[in-house]
Every structure is written in C-alpha cells, then in structure tokens.
Structure 1
Amino acid sequence: MVSHAELDLLAIAHIDCDAFYASVEKRDNPELQDVPLIVGGGQRGVVSTCCYIARIYGVRSAMPMFKALEACPDAVVIKPNMEKYSRVGKEIRERMRALTPLVEPISIDEAFLDLTGTERLHQATPAETLAKFVRGIEADIGISASVGLAPNKFLAKLASDLEKPRGFSVIGAEEAETVLAPMPVGRIWGVGKVFQKKLEKDGIKTIGQLQTMEAAELARRYGSIGLRLASLSHGDDSRLVKPERGAKSVSTETTFRSDISSFETLRPILRNLSEKVSSRLKKSDLSGRGITLKLKTADFRTITRARHLGDPTQLADKIYAAGESLLENETDGRRFRLIGIGVSDLEPADRADPEDLLDVSAERRKNAEIAVDKLRDKFGNSAVELGLTHAARSSDKPRKS
C-alpha cells in the first residue's frame, strides 16, 4: 500500500495468517516448500487447509480428501498437529498484544486489533506498525499473514481477504459502499450458505441490491438479521474490538452420590452432559474444536484427556462421540466420583459442522438434533429425550452440576 486518502486515519485491523497449518508445516520441513501440501485426513477424510500451490489445482478447505487428491494427485498429505499450531498461534498472539491491549482473537490464527492512540507508543501510524508487524513474524516465526485495515471490524475482515497471501488491503469509510456493491451477499458477516440461498431466492444476490432497500423493509422480511443487513451493506458496523471474548471454553460436570466404575453406567451421564454443553454453545453462537473429558477418581485424583476435531462443532452428537472414545480408554476398573465434558478453542458458530460428504449419516444425525432442539425450545427440555439420557437421569442423582 503506497497511498490511500484515509490511510493515516484508520486503526481497526484484521490480521489473518496465510494457510496457517500448511505454512507451519512448510516452515518446519523445507522440503515441502515448493510442493502442493494438504493438511487433513483423519476420521473425517477432509481437507483442513492447504497451501496456495494446492489451491491452484482447485483444492480447498472442507473438500473430501479423495476429491482433493483427484484434483492434485501429487499433493503431500499431513495430518493436523493441533498442539504445534496452537503453540505458534500463541506466539503470534503475544506479539499482537505488544502492539495494543485491544486484541480480539477470532481463531487460532486470526484476530482483530484496535490501534487507536498507539501512534506515540510506536512512533508510527497504525498502517506502518502493522506492516512492520507482519514483516517481523515472517522473518522471526516463519509465518506470513495478510492485513485488512478499515474503520470497523466488518470492513477490516473483508479487506484482509482481498489480496491473500501477504496482502495489505485498505477499505476506507468513503469508498465502503462502492467496494461492497458488487460483492455477493454471502460476504456479509453472519450470512451463511442457507441464508444466502434464501436471499438469492428472493432475488437478492449482491450487497449493492441490499443498499437500495430500506431498513424497515429488510426488517419486515428477515427480522433482526434484516436490520444487520441494512447496516453492514452500507459498511456500518458498531461492534467494538473486545480484548476478552468471554469464556475460553464451555463445560459442565457432575459429582455422583456413590462412585461409579462401569463404562456402561457412565456413558448415559456423559451424553447428558454433552447435551448441556451443546445447548450452551448454540445459545452463545459458539463452536469449538477441542473436546476435553474430565474424571475424578475415588481418591480425588483428577484426570483430563483431550482430543481436537478437524472442524469446530456445537453438536451434542459429535461432542459425545469424542468424549465417549476418551472415556472408554479410562474405564479400567477404577472408581470415579466425578465426570465432566468441555469444548475449547472456541470459534464463531457460522464455522461449525460443515457438511460431511463421506458420512451421510452424520448429516442425518445433525438434522435430527436440530429438530430435537426446536421441539425442546418450544415444549421444554423434557419434551424429547433419548433413551440413553433418560438412563442417565434415572441411574444416579448427582450432587451438583
């Protein structure tokens, strides 16, 4: 960026590392530097991320692995190493916090920053500080990133996607409507694939079409989200950069009246707890990749076991499945007085549970869970109950939750 009319006036940034998982793997193995690389596989058999060389061949995130290898048969495939990625992400996050205390993480490899008032501290404008920052993490950590600079979070996030990789894009307030107008409605924060199809069915395909509509009309058609469409389509976003995003995890646990050692007795209790965690995630519009099982033995020794999922989830079905496999390995005759389940590495809900083309039953279970949620919202939690969770309620009365 050489010049921009508002360059020295803008202070809200979105920083997004480029093909983060793949970049970490290439950094750690120089032999992979010039080859197409896919990070993924595992139980779901899908692409978690891929390098930009692989993207030239049409590979993309969430693509089934067999399709990715059909498109790019020479690609190297590596299973995700979430612990390593988390370490690198935390190192970059600490460098962000050295720029400003107003850092709002969005995921392991991206965050919003508000650099308002930091000119004296850094002896530079926010734009200059950000340029120095991304040069520094590439030189010192070996990871490149793209920057979006704008007057608000919505425009900053859009800008960071415009020229990846190693992009530095600016969207000013004066040009916002012009820049947004030709973009598809799916580029608006909160508009997922299902809602985008609904808008397109109503004849609304571009953000420019939304700009011509009255807020009252959009509200009448789409409720509260219609008002958001009206604001964001004009580039207006009043959300602040919040350094604390609330809870880092969502979890629940229960203590038994008498110790339990049986896997079959613990399973329904774990399912019941998974449903509670799932409900809280859904109500908070959150999802997460990290699943943690907590157990406390009869002699008060705490045991935690964790697993990372390929995609963030908010479904009880997936939370329970991961927790159950962890539990099975620990039920070896020991008696437990407490069990808990939690979800961490939280992300926005719109990233959760992408369609699994390799497991059609997973999509059916997802739809069934959504239907059950609607019935419970209308008639109460006891309106629909699985046989497994009913067993949990009748088998043992917990002391606390």
Structure 2
Amino acid sequence: MVRTIFHIDVNSAFLSWEAAHRMSSGEDIDIRDIPSAVAGDPNKRRGVILAKSTSAKRYGINTGESLNAALKKCPGLKVVSPTPGIYKRYSNALMDLIYEYTDAVEQCSIDEAFMDVSGIVKKLGVPPVKLADGIRRRVQNELGFTVNIGISCNKLLAKAASELEKPNRTHTMYPDEIEYKYWTLPVREMNGVGSSAQKKLNRAAIKTIGDLAVANEIYLKSIFKSYGAVLHQKANGIDESPVEPRGEAKSIGNSTTTPRDVESIEEACKYLLKLSENVGRRLRQKKLVSHCIGIEIRYSDFRNVQMQSALHSPVEGDLEIYQNAKSLFEKLWEKRPVRHIGIRALQLESGNEQQMSFLEEGNCGEGKLDSVIDNIRLRYGDDIIKRMV
C-alpha cells in the first residue's frame, strides 16, 4: 500500500513560540512582524542567533551566526533571550494536537514530527492536502503559531516538501514531482549532505540533487565508499523507513492558551468542553479508557495550579470527561482571571477491560455518538459540529 506521510515543521520555532506567548500575555507588537531574533544575552551582546523573523532574514541575518555580527547588519534588531520552558510547553501542545489524528507520530525534535496518516486518508476518503490544511489552520487558530506541512509517500520526500516555501504552507512532493521540485535544489539541501560532502560533490561537478540522482553509483562509492549508495538512493527519493511512534502513552492531554482572560465559569466551560472532546477522541483512537482526570489552570500572573481525581468507573466519552473536568475546575478555581486551561486523562488501560457500568444503555449510546462525531470532524473539520455547554 502506498503510504501518506506528513512532515510537520514549526516556522522559526523559538521565535514563533516567543511571539505567541508574548501576544497571549497582552503585548501589542508581534515580534514576527519586525526584525527580531532569539539569541543569547541581548544586554551583553553575546551568544548566537537561534531563530529570526522573516524581516530579519532580509538583512542577511542567519541562524547560528553571532549576535554581535547580526547587530552590525541590523542595529535595530529586537533581541529576546530564549525561554526553554515556554518552548517545551508549546511543543507539547503541538504534539497533543497532532496525536488527535493518529498514533503513528514520530517526534524528531522539539519542533518537528512525522505522521503516517495512511489509515485516516483511506478510512475517510479525505484528500491529504485538505487534511494537512485543516491541521495547519488548527495550529494557527488554537496554538497561535504556524507550521509547514510536507506530504509524500515517504519520510525523506515529506521532509523535503516541508522545506519549500515558508511560512504556513502545505506542499506535496510525490515521486512524479521530484524532477521539478526536488532535483532542481542545490545538493547541499538534501538530507544527509553536510558541508564536507558538498565540497566533494561540487568538485565532481555535482551541483544539484538532480545531478546526484543521475550520477554513476560506482563512481559515488569511489568517493564516499558505502555511503555513496545511500546518497544515490536519497537523491532518487527512495526511503522505506517507517514512522516510528514513541512508547505507550502514560497519559493523554490537551491544553489551550486563551486569547483573553477567562473570568467566568460559563466561559471556562466552553474551553473545558472543547478540550474534553479532544482528549476523548484520542482515547477512542487508542481504544483506551481513563481512571483519573486532571486539570491545570494558569492564571494571568502565570501562577500554575493543578488537581486530579480518581474515578469510580473508567471513562472515554466526551461528556463524562467534561463533567469530571468541570467539577475539578469549580473546586480549584480561585475566581481570578485565567489564561491557560489543560485537561489530562491518566491511569489508562485498554478499553476492552472496562467495567460493566460502561455497558449501560445510556453510556453505550453516547459512545456511538462520540465516534460518529469523531469521523465527521476528521472529514469536514472541527467546526462542522459544536456541542452546547
């Protein structure tokens, strides 16, 4: 079966996450829209550029160059220090979102992951580009930053596709497209070609990936030994490596940073319901039930509080999760403005071992309804059906 692989890559991750965090905290200026960069110590002018905005790139500023050199190119560069804790939080939120679609997720780094969506595409009959565009929109609307998504039949070409025009784009790179999308790229842009290999290839008059694809494999082996065959395969878009998911999940969660302060239980319930639906969908996808529900609240002064509660019987249904989360929120909330809400299902087990109370007529009907809603939303988008609080 021909696979459908997505590669998701956050656009200028550290800068995007800094911007999203600052905007959610009430700042008026989006640092993505001005010459800006995330770097070491702006006061001492030390460190290197970790990420830069599109407008900073126009000044010739490059990731990895010294902060001092970047400031000479753009004296008005807005420089912010890195905040790893924020990056981890946004990375986790992104992974939570894409796990709603499939368990076949391989996280490569803090800001990129592969997804094997072959099963979803086949089951729902949804075009891969439409599915990818829906994921991109959700990331932008719900998390506040943008991603590129590359689509192909293997990981190598999906990653190459995601590196094409940025930001916030979906690109395909199928085998019948590599001649004009892949082979025209400089050989240095191919995964696995470092500066040393590039110099050797350039000396052999191999300048583009296309040049490498048609090069004599025996000749390549004379230069790179056995790795020459690997380079030749990559240049021809050949990659059979599977998407390798991480170990079994110990919990399933979803969270959101609200666009404005949440100051009433009615408003909080709207977020709790949406988060409960996302957690419930992922439980059903994995055929799991939860024996414990936890919630997290972050107030507008960035203080975090958490609470969890063991359940009398396991849950997987959206409304059951919501009711338990709402109860916890009412106990935990200090009647202060909230800017971040999260729900997590813990103490997971296989749904095949759920207790008899789950087979009651009412619960069975709700479970079927949840599954129908899951499929409709995957096909047409989350906004096609909305529950009332």
Distance of 1:74 and 1:210 partners within structure 2: 42
1: CA distance, partners of 2:105 / 2:190 = 22
Task: Give 1:221 shift.
Answer: 2.5
Residue deviations 1:112-136 (CA, integer Å, cap 9, x gap)? 1110111366563332222111101
Aligned residues: 238
Shift of 1:199: 1.5
CA deviation map 1:365-385 (0-9, x unaligned): xxxxxxxxxxxxxxxxxxxxx
1:209 corresponds to: 211
Q: Is 1:35 matched with 2:34?
A: yes
Cα separation, 1, equivalents of 2:121 and 2:4: 10
Q: 1:222 to 1:132 in 2, by over 3 A?
A: same
Alignment TM-score, normalising by the size of structure 1:
0.56
Structure-2 separation of matches of 1:92 and 1:24: 11
* CA–CA distance in structure 2, aligned partners of residues 53 and 160 of structure 1: 20
Does the alignment pair 1:183 with 2:185? yes
Q: TM-score, normalised by structure 2?
A: 0.58
Partner of 2:94: 92
Letter in structure 2 aligned against 1:103: V
**Residue equivalent to 2:11:** 18
Contact kept? 1:177, 1:233, Cα under 8 Å: no
Task: Write the letter of the residue equivalent to 1:31.
Answer: D
Q: 1:146 aligns with which of 145, 148, 151?
A: 148
Structure 1 residue 58, shift from structure 2 partner: 1.5
2:136 to 130, 134, 137: 134
CA contact (8 A) 2:160 2:182 kept: no
- AA aligned opposite 1:38: A
Task: Determine whether 1:77 maps to 2:70.
Answer: no
The 5 Å alignment of 1:158-173 reads 158-173=160-175
State the Cα deviation string for residues 153-203 of structure 1 (Å, max 9, x = none): 111111111111011111111121343222111122111112111221232
| Structure 2: tracts of 5 or more residues without a match | 249-389
Which of 78, 88, 105 is 2:107 aligned to? 105
Which of 19-28 and 122-131 deviates more? Answer: 122-131
Contact 1:118–1:126 (Cα < 8 Å) also in 2: no
Matched, 1:194 2:196: yes
1:245 and 1:103, CA in 2 relative to 1: closer, same or farther beyond 3 A?
A: same
Look up the equivalent residue of 1:32 and give its one-letter code. Answer: I
Percent identity over paired residues: 32
> Which residue number corresponds to residue 259 of structure 1?
none
- Secondary structure class of the residue paired with 2:91: helix
Give the Cα–Cα distance (whole angstroms) in 2 for the partners of residues 122 and 74 of structure 1: 50
Shift in Å, 1:216: 2.7
Distance across 2 between alignment mates of 1:10 and 1:36: 40
SS of alignment partner, residue 47 of structure 1: strand
Residue 275 of structure 1 corresponds to which residue in structure 2?
A: none
Q: Secondary structure at the match of 1:149?
A: strand
Report the CA distance shift for 1:40/1:189 in structure 2 as closer, same or farther (over 3 A). same
Q: Deviations over 1:226-269 (max 9, x none)?
A: 011111111111111111399xxxxxxxxxxxxxxxxxxxxxxx
3-state SS of 1:237 partner? coil
